[in-house]
Each structure stands twice: as structure tokens, then as C-alpha cells.
Structure 1
Amino acid sequence: MPPPGGRFLRARTRATGLLKLLLLGAACTPCFAQEVSDEVLNKAFHTYRAGGPKADGLPAGGVINRSNVEAARPYLSSAMYEFIKKGEYEMQVGETFDFSMHPKYVEATKKNALNVKLDPNGTLKNYVAGRPFPQEPDLKDPTAGLKLAWNFQYGRVWGDLGCIEPFIWDYKSYETGKVERSIVFDKFCFKRYAFRTVDEPTPEFTPNPSNLYRGIYVRVSAPQDLANTELLIQKFKDDTKLSDAYLYLGFQRRVRRLATGQTTDAFLGSDLMIEDFEGYNGRISDMTWTYKGTKTLLLPFWDRAAVKSKGRQHKATGEDGSVWEYTGFGGKSQCHQDAPFQLRTTYVIEATPKDASHPVSKRVYYMDAQTAELPIVEIYDRKGELWKQFVIGWVHADRGADPINKGKGADIGDTFSMIDVQARHCTTGSFRGKVDPGLVHDGIFSVQNMRGGN
């Protein structure tokens, strides 16, 4: 016969054990986190497997011009509508297809995303790799815009190592179309040190004593007065830490560190700021991000085989010797992409600077839901008036980008157009983009390399 009180002691022991398990679970929530569901992953990464959205009067192969722009208005960003309405641009409509991500990036999202949390200061906790927040945004969630900004920050643009070589910028009058200056970058490279998903080592290079997230290296080869100018940007894993930026001026033969404010100056006399690179190249913590809703809009994503207009040619040097035809530009003064836009699910986000002295009052981002890229950006001046439209055209790694990209599952830029609607000026950019771990040696992402001029 059990001793008196035995049942009570056994019940208390079981209760104590259960309490310990609950406390352990609370202290180690990520240990028990489930994986992201296939339903969420399919909506996020395989958005158009069953076909893309349709709109009456906007068939693939059609053209939007001033005669039919009113019918197309619901599917256009506000600035783009104005360009077409004025007769300054005619937009081609292309077929919508999947811009699929690398399977390792999708798998990293599946395993890690449910562990990711927002810290009270707006940074991420428990982030390892993949898309931090693959779920669809909710207007009722006050942090939805911030979560989308983090999705952009840790997307698959240029993979774990990518270069644009060469990268040609043309400065043009929007009134006359005259090309005032052309800049050729023989290197424009991006390297991830942390949060890597495809190229080994993953998820991070070790040692990483400076706790870098990403490096950007830029070198000018022409014209002669800017030759050997170099830019190096080092972004840290800690988003609250200011990026380090260095500029090497060949004619001065010295490296100087850029002050924080210089990232919002015109870069090399163009219509772009350093902060504009890739849609946004600043700290996530420098902006207040507000999600404004989801729309179906025409975005600049295309298969290069469907691009009828070709721009200048470039013949690669060395054993390659291949000839690359850049995507052409059209519209007024050839300041707009002459390539088809796709109907795609789009998140509208407004970003306002926390610094009242910032030269812009806000940026409106039209984010592609599948890739989390920022293909169309509207930039407003301090008075709240439209200042610039920035458009980045994207090609799929398997659909007409450089052959080296096949199977890389990365987002490959093809062109850009920055139009200053107030100054009536534009800068266009033509890419030959490549993604591969062996493109460049790691030394180019160091200040010492800039001093050497190599």
C-alpha cells in the first residue's frame, strides 16, 4: 500500500516536471519553432507557377501609350502614368513568369524564418539566412513595412558574390537627348560576408573580425579624368552601425573616408546618390517604413530574348571574347527602358528619413513581392514634390542574362534609369551582370587594395 500522501507527491513531481519543460520552452523558443509551411513558401517564391495576373486590355505583346493609358492607370505607378500620359514613354507589356530563387535560399527561409523576431530598436533577432519574413504583409501590422524592408535587405540580389563588368552610365539631357558624359566601371562588385545561403562558406565567413555583412567595390576605367577612381562601402551586420565608405581618387593618389552626408550627394556628377544604389543602400534603421498596401502593377522584369531593342555592344577581353548586346533605351531622349514590363504582385511602401536634414522627404517603393526587389522608386524632395523616378530592370538568371549565371537563382540587374523630373535630366545604366564565387579575389574589398590601386 503506498505511503500516505504518495499520490500527492507523485502529482506534484509530474507538475514540477511539466513546469520545467514549459520554462525551458519559453527560454529556448527557437529550439521548438516549426518550419515555414509549404503554402507560405509557394506564395512567396513560386508565385506564378499557375500563371500570372491578367488585366483587360493589357495582353502580353501589347503597348500602353497616351491613347490607352487611362485604362491601364490602375496597373501603373503614379510617376510612370504621368510619363506615358505626356507622350514621353510607351510601355511594352510582357508575359509574367516566375523569377525563382535558388533552392538553398528557399530552404534557408523554411528552416529559419519562424525564429526571426523584430527587436524593439527595429533590428532583427535570431536571423541566420533566407528571407526573414516570407508571410504576406498585413495592413493591420504596424511593423509590416519594416519587415518588408528587411526582406529587401537580405534578398538574393547579385547572390553571394556578383559583379557588373562593365557597367556603363550615360548622363543625358532629358530635353535634347544629348549624351553629355559616359562613365565606364570595369568593376562594380558585391560580396556577402554573412547571411550567405549558396556559396560556401555558409552562413558566414569566419573569421569576420569586423562583423561585416556586405562589401561593395567600384572602379572606374573611363573617361581618363576619372580613371582608377574607386569606391569601397563596408556594411556591418549591426544595422545601427554606420557603414564605412572610402573613395580613392586616381589623380590625387589618396584614399579618403566619406563623411555620412556624402552618401546623399550626387555620385560622380550623376543623378544618383550612393544611398540610391540598388533602390536603397542606406541603413534600414535610418528610415521609417510604412506598408501602404498590395497592388497588381506593371514592373520592369523581362526575358532578354523578348527585348527587341538593343543598345551598344561590348566585346569581352581575354579568352572569352564574346560580344554582349545591352538592352536598349527608348522614350523621350532615350531615358526609359525599351523592354517589356510584367504584371506582378507589388507591395507599396513609403520610407521617410528620420533625419530632418535629409535631402528627400520620402521615397515610395514599388516592391516586387516575389523577389523583394525595388524595381520602381519615386523620390520626393523636401517640399513633398516628385523629384526623381528610379527604375531598375531585372532579368532571370536563366533567361538571357550572361551564361555564367545559369542556375544561380539570383536576381540579375539589366538596366537602370534615373530621371530627374525637376532638372530635366537623366542617367541611364547598362549592365553586364555576373554571379559566381570566383569572379574576384577578396582583397578588392579592402582599403589596402585601394591604396595599391590594383
Structure 2
Amino acid sequence: MFKTDFVRLLAASGLAAGLSLAGPVLAEEVAEGTLLNAASIDSLLDKTLDGQPIRSVLVGQQEKMIRQYGWQMNLVKAKPVNITSGLLELTEKHKGEASLDAGKHLVNYTTGVPFPELDPADPDAGYKLIYNILRVGWLGDALNLQPLTFLIIDGKKGLEKEQGWVYRRFLMSGRLSEPHALDPNIAKYEALVNVYPNDTRGLGLLTVNYTDGRLPDVYAYVKSLRRVRRLSSGAWADPVQGTDLLFDDTFGLNLDPTWYESWKLIGKRQGLGVDHSVLPSLDEKASGKAKYPFMNLAEAPYWNFQPDNYEVKDVYELEGKPKSNHLVSRRHMFVGATLGAPKFYWQDHYDRKGEHWHTEFLGYKDVKWDDGRTGPTVTGVLLVDVQRLHATAFGYSAAFHHNPPDAKAADYTPEALPRMLE
């Protein structure tokens, strides 16, 4: 009996030694183009993409959106992130000039990325990252996105309505082109104006954001009076009528950092994002739902984009806390960490009770801009209200303009609002 147990002990020890010499078992790498969805997620979480466990690169509420709401991702190998032409050279030229004053306002800034080196241990790093996103023309000194069709979607019934909008943005400072500041007191003009259907035509706002952080000037075109009227500055965080967006949600974020209570850079990590989208664009020649080949409008909850290519990206994890009068209590954001490409890949918003309310997704690809630069464009924006099972989405149009050569500030000002309806 003793001899038998001793032999067994030796055999077990030898087996254990053999296993230890063999080293750790490596996780299986997924094949290029593997579809991550509700049916496959359990089998894929412990596999890897570019050597990273898939469960570790799902950020925010991505797993929830996949499991409960039909979100799908094509998993592909990462490609290099392209940077807007000329941006890194300007950043190097003006490196070290910009700083924050005691009120967290950006001062002594000319152009380029204001704060190219971010340290999560710096208590001001969150503010610096937001300025890196909002105050330089990495997405263009001027944007004119038209046709821009918002799809208003009920998660139980499907497509409710289509709305035509004009989105225009014009930077007055932090410009890539010279002069880098047309008015050093104004950060930008930004307009979102409804152009159809007729019952809502003319709705929308134009905001004038200032470099000193004061609340914006907010203007609306009153269709019945055919007049532009100034509104309360607090309208910058109001809902966009007929949609699920707030005005500070437009194009990912539209605000001054000082309007929030705080910004915290939690750290740098890796996450899944769309940087080289392969989705088809808006098809204006088609009719009905065929105009929107980028959307899965035939399958509940009806708001999901068709599966796009997701890569493992370096991202900053950022938390923004609005002031108590805001509808959102917390923004949890995942922003591209590549210098000069601070893309809003994914963000989740929480209501005043701290419960998950909105998820906002943006996808990107590189295009040639009107002025000859190479830079990113947004290929899709989706904001989902998970509490109401409702969503607002739009996709890329080949008619979008980045840095159109005829762009001038006068075409983006409050006086230009009526012309945006033409």
C-alpha cells in the first residue's frame, strides 16, 4: 500500500513539473473579422485580439449593449492611427506655450495640441485632455455637414421619423490654417438647424463659445417671426427638440470645460473603437430605408449600425461631472490617446440618480479634406436612451465638407441662421 501511494506521488510530481516547465497556456487569438455579438460573446471573452483578452478591451457599457441590445463588432487587427496633416508640426512648434489659469481656463494658447503630454497623476489632466479635444482643428477648422439626416428610432417599433439638419462649425481660434486666431476672444461658432420636415423646419440653435469660458451666446431662428432671437445661455445643455441628444452632446461634446464641475483623467488603457470604418455612406438616390445602408433598421431594437471594424485602440478613460442643474450626473468617456487624434470612440451618461441613461458611439475613417489635407471624418453617430428604449443616429455622407475653401466666419454667425435653411 505504501509503495503504491509513493509511486503515485512520484508520478503526480513529475506531471506537475512537466506542466511548470511547459509555461503558461496562451489564450487563443481570434481570426480576423470574427463577429462579436450576443451569440458569440461568452465564447470570445477569454480569447485575444492583438494579444489583448477581449474581456479587458470592452469599455464602459459595451458588454451590456452587446448582450441586451444587439450591438455587433467585427474584430480586426489594429492599423496605425493617422493624424490630421500638419497638426503634429504645429504642436511641436508651440509646445509649452499653453497653460491653465486658476479658474481652469486655457491661456497663452496659439494652435496645435495645447497639452501634448498628459500625466494621469496631474489633477488638471482631465481639463487638459478636454482642451486638447475641443480647441484645435483636428477635425477641421470649418465643418459643413449637409445632407445630415437624423434617424429617430423607437426600440420597439422601429424608425419613427427622418429629420434633415445642417451642422456647421467654424473655429475662430486654435485653427490649423493661418491666421491661427481670427478673433482671440471667440473659440468657435456651432450651429445645428433643422431643415425638414416642414413642421419642425427652422428649429435649432447656434452657439458662440468664448475663449475665456463665459457662458455662450445662444441664438435661435424663430420661424413664425422670421427673426433670429437670443436665448438664455443655459440652453447649451437643453435637449435638441425631437431627438435624444442634448446640445452639449452634438458631435460628441460641445461645451467649455469650465461649465462642468470637474474632469478627471482616470488613466490610459486599451479599448475597442472604430477608426477605419467600412460602413457604406448615405445613399441619397435610394428611397425609404434603403437610403441608410449603414443601419440595421430591420431588426429590433432597430438603432444598431451594421457590424463595423473594431480595433484595439489606446484610449484615455475620462470622467466628467456636470453641475447639479444638468440632466446628466456623470459622463464616462473613452477618448483616443494618440496625440492629435482625440476621438470620442465611446461614452456612457448617467442620470441624476446615477443610473445608466445614454450611450453615445462615434465611428471614424480617414478622408481627403476639401483643402487637400488628410484627416478624419465621422462615419456614424448614435445616441441611445436605454431607459426609454429610444435612439437618434446619423451616418456619413460623401457630401460632408471639412475645411471648404470658401468657408468664412460670416457664414456661421447668428446672422447666417436664416441662410442655413436655404
Please give the range of the TM-score, normalised by the shorter of the 2 chains: 0.7 to 0.9
Query: What is the aligned counterpart of 2:113 among 131, 141, 145?
Result: 131
2:164 matches 1:184: yes
CA distance in 2: counterparts of 1:269 and 1:335, whole angstroms: 16
Contact 1:184 1:222 in 2 (8 A): yes
CA distance in 2: counterparts of 1:334 and 1:406, whole angstroms: 37
SS of the residue corresponding to residue 113 of structure 1 reads: coil
CA distance in 1: counterparts of 2:254 and 2:410, whole angstroms: 22
Name 2:180's counterpart in structure 1: 203
CA distance in 1: counterparts of 2:406 and 2:28, whole angstroms: 45
2:381 matches 1:412: no
2:369 matches 1:385: no
SS of the residue corresponding to residue 199 of structure 2 reads: helix
Amino acid aligned to 1:170: L
Query: What is the aligned counterpart of 1:63 among 28, 32, 35?
Result: 35
The normalised TM-score by structure 1 is 0.76
SS of the residue corresponding to residue 383 of structure 2 reads: strand
Amino acid aligned to 1:144: A
For residues 342-397 of structure 1, the C-alpha deviation after alignment (integer angstroms, 9 at most, x for no partner) is 210011000001x2221111100100112112221100000111000001111112
Contact 1:89 1:332 in 2 (8 A): no
Moved more, 415-424 or 277-286: 277-286
Unaligned 5+ segments in structure 2 are: 1-26, 47-53
User: How many pairs are equivalent?
Assistant: 374
Amino acid aligned to 2:353: K
Q: Report deviation, 1:414.
A: 1.2
Query: What is the aligned counterpart of 2:325 among 323, 333, 357?
Result: 357
RMSD across aligned C-alpha pairs, in angstroms? 2.5
Q: Report deviation, 1:312.
A: 4.7
Contact 1:94 1:302 in 2 (8 A): no
CA distance in 1: counterparts of 2:292 and 2:112, whole angstroms: 31
Give the direction of change, closer, same or farther, for the CA distance of 1:133–1:258 in structure 2 (3 Å limit).
same
2:67 matches 1:85: yes
Query: What is the aligned counterpart of 2:133 among 152, 177, 183?
Result: 152
The normalised TM-score by structure 2 is 0.82
CA distance in 1: counterparts of 2:204 and 2:353, whole angstroms: 34
Structure with a larger share of its residues in helix: 1
Q: Report deviation, 1:262.
A: 2.5
CA distance in 2: counterparts of 1:315 and 1:244, whole angstroms: 38
Name 1:221's counterpart in structure 2: 195
SS of the residue corresponding to residue 245 of structure 1 reads: strand
Query: What is the aligned counterpart of 1:264 among 230, 237, 257?
Result: 237
Query: What is the aligned counterpart of 1:347 among 299, 310, 316?
Result: 316
Name 1:141's counterpart in structure 2: 122
Contact 1:389 1:420 in 2 (8 A): yes
Name 1:20's counterpart in structure 2: none
Contact 2:215 2:259 in 1 (8 A): no
Moved more, 433-442 or 286-295: 433-442
Q: Report deviation, 1:252.
A: 4.0
Amino acid aligned to 1:360: V
CA distance in 2: counterparts of 1:155 and 1:98, whole angstroms: 21
Contact 1:230 1:450 in 2 (8 A): no
Query: What is the aligned counterpart of 2:94 among 98, 103, 112?
Result: 112
Identity of aligned residues (%): 23
For residues 260-286 of structure 1, the C-alpha deviation after alignment (integer angstroms, 9 at most, x for no partner) is 332222202200011111221111012
